[in-house]
């Protein structure tokens, strides 16, 4: 059986979200697809490094088994819909796995004649060396016999104000078509499955729920005392000057959908009503609506206590989780919510939203709040800061909760869907 995997997002620099998911799942699939011929389709990027050692290929830091190979597709625009589609036409496979919700336009649900009659596709005919090569592509066209796609969430439907018109249009079209064209849909939560059924009328029997995993960063962590004594980390994070500095933490894209403005309001309320020394640390790249968030921070009378770190490395992320007093994740919508599990695995108590998939992922191991109420957010943060026994109990529940999830389990279940 020949299996293709869309790995276009897995080896990008500074991975977040779906990119990290793609990488982790591909890494896990190595141990579950040992008897199949597997090819990874990747984009040509500046940071892509391919090496070969004793017949095995290594792509960046990931070493591949002997039955795995890499195909670099050099296509400047519409990589999935044109570049990957053409590759699948020229070199057919049995099954295609797409970890990031975008199925190529050429697939079993669309026949070859319809594809080749598309006026846009005819524009690429000039790329082929001869009429014979073009005719060959037409003759073998059939696409993969099976396509498995992962849908992570429908954030743009529930938080439309956090996306531009073009983003909403593209995401809606892409996911609707992917759900139509795919043989099997993997949803990362029961909540996302319900959304697909209710909003897009996707048949329930076509969807399988497979939970995401999380990276256990405990091996990379240092203790608070070690961190305090490491001048490089002190300077990098701006958190410690001469003594330990307590803080609340958010990790993720600094964007409107993540509800950062209400988190800032909750922090202001905490500082006004409670005698806390904590800072608010925001770690992540700016996203949609960042200008309004920045204005909210600048207008806060506690702005000197709000620290923006920008993008952080994996090691830095785990240092921050281990040292934080509370992880605040009061977002408006999450398809899954990996940061909750990462924080819990590091022994950090979590305050998170009571919406979308979060109650499903956290159960009773986090304090769930109304994301629209900065009063509710602030009040639950204070519960953890003011009651050590309660905080310790929540930490312990978090450590138990994460045992339900792993990338190994996720990859094994996905492999079963691909090959069955």
Q: By the 8 A CB rule, do 387 and 397 touch? A: no
Question: What is the tally of helices (H) and strands (E) in the chain?
Answer: 18, 16
Both 196 and 279 in one domain: the answer is: no
Strand partners, 269: none
pLDDT at position 106, please?
64
Q: Clarify whether residues 171 and 253 are in a common domain.
A: no
Query: Residues 251, 320: contact at Cβ < 8 Å?
Result: yes
User: For residue 136, what are the contacts with CB-CB under 8 A and spacing of at least 6?
Assistant: 90
Contact call for residues 200 and 211 (beta carbons, < 8 A)? no
Cβ atoms of 56 and 48 closer than 8 Å? no
- Which of these, 191, 163, 162, lies nearest to 354 by C-alpha position? 191
Do both 336 and 276 map to the same domain? yes
Phi-psi sector, 373: left (phi>0), alpha (psi -120 to 50), beta: beta
**Which token pair is 226?**
């070690």
**What is the structure's pLDDT at 130?**
54
254 and 314, same domain (yes or no): yes
Same domain, 399 and 414: no
* Nearest-angstrom CA–CA distance, 26 and 32: 10
Contacts of 273 (CB under 8 A, 6+ apart): 378
Q: What is the number of other CB atoms lying within 10 angstroms of the CB of residue 90?
A: 13
CATH assignment of the domain containing 282: 3.40.50.2000
Same domain, 203 and 263: no
Tally of CB atoms within 10 A around 197: 15
**pLDDT by position in tens, the chain (length 420):** 999 999 988 888 777 788 889 999 999 999 999 899 999 999 887 677 777 777 677 888 888 888 999 999 888 788 888 889 888 888 889 999 999 988 987 654 444 444 444 444 444 455 555 555 544 444 445 567 899 999 999 999 998 988 889 989 999 999 999 999 899 999 999 999 999 999 999 999 999 999 999 987 654 444 333 444 444 444 445 544 334 789 999 999 999 999 999 999 999 999 999 989 999 999 999 988 899 999 999 999 999 999 998 888 888 888 899 989 999 999 999 999 999 999 999 999 999 999 999 999 999 999 999 999 999 999 999 999 999 999 999 999 999 999 999 999 999 999 999 998
Q: How many other CB atoms are there within 10 angstroms of residue 166's CB atom? A: 8
Give the N- to C-terminal CA distance of the chain in Å, as an integer: 11
Give the residue among 105, 197, 173, 186 at the shortest CA–CA distance from 143: 105
> Are 197 and 222 part of one and the same domain?
no
Judgement on whether residues 302 and 222 belong to the same structural domain of the protein: yes
Q: How many domains does the chain have?
A: 2
Identify the domain containing residue 368 by its residue range: 218-404
Residue 305 DSSP one-character state: G
Longest dimension (CA), the chain: 78
User: Looking up tokens 């846009």, which residue turns up?
Assistant: 120
- Helical segments of 288-329, H only: 290-298, 314-323
Strands 50-53 and 184-187: unpaired
Do 101 and 248 lie in a common domain? no
- Asked whether the beta carbons of 100 and 18 are under 8 A apart, the reply is yes
59 and 198 belong to one structural domain: yes
| Sequence-ordered strand ranges (E) for 99-191 | 146-151, 184-187
- Both 287 and 411 in one domain: the answer is no
pTM for this predicted structure: 0.83
| 273/298 same-domain check | yes
Which tokens sit at 405?
């999830």
Q: In what order do the strands lie in the sheet with 68-73?
A: 68-73, 37-43, 2-6, 95-98, 146-151, 184-187, 207-209
């Amino acid at each position: 059986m020949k299996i293709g995997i869309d790995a276009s997002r897995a080896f990008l620099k500074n991975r977040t979200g779906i990119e990290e998911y793609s990488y982790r799942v591909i890494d896990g699939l190595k141990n579950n697809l040992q008897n199949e011929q597997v090819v990874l389709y990747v984009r040509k990027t500046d940071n892509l490094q391919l090496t070969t050692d004793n017949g095995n290929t290594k792509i960046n830091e990931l070493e591949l088994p002997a039955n795995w190979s890499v195909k670099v597709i050099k296509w400047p625009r519409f990589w999935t819909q044109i570049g990957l589609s053409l590759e699948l036409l020229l070199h057919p496979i049995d099954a295609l796995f797409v970890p990031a919700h975008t199925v190529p336009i050429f697939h079993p649900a669309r026949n070859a004649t319809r594809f080749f009659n598309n006026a846009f596709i005819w524009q690429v005919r000039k790329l082929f060396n001869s009429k014979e090569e073009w005719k060959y592509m037409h003759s073998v066209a059939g696409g993969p016999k099976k396509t498995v796609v992962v849908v992570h969430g429908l954030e743009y439907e529930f938080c439309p104000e956090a996306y531009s018109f073009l983003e909403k249009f593209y995401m809606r079209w892409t996911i609707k078509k992917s759900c139509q064209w795919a043989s099997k849909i993997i949803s990362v939560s029961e909540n996302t499955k319900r959304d697909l059924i209710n909003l897009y009328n996707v048949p329930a029997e076509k969807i399988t729920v497979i939970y995401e995993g999380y990276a256990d960063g405990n091996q990379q962590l240092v203790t608070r005392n070690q961190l305090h004594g490491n001048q490089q980390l002190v300077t990098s994070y701006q958190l410690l000057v001469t003594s330990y500095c307590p803080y609340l933490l958010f990790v993720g894209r600094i964007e409107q959908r993540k509800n950062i403005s209400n988190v800032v309001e909750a922090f202001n309320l905490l500082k006004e009503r409670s005698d806390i020394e904590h800072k608010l640390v925001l770690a992540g790249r700016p996203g949609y609506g960042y200008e309004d968030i920045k204005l909210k921070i600048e207008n806060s009378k506690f702005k000197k206590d709000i620290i923006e770190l920008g993008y952080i490395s994996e090691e830095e992320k785990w240092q921050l989780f281990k040292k934080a007093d509370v992880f605040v994740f009061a977002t408006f919508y999450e398809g899954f919510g990996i940061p909750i599990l990462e924080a819990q695995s590091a022994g950090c108590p979590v305050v998170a939203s009571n919406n979308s998939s979060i109650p499903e992922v956290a159960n009773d191991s986090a304090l769930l709040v109304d994301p629209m109420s900065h009063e509710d957010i602030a009040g639950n943060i204070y519960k953890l800061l003011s009651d050590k026994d309660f905080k310790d109990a929540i930490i312990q529940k978090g450590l138990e909760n994460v045992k339900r999830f792993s990338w190994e389990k996720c990859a094994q279940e996905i492999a079963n869907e691909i090959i069955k």
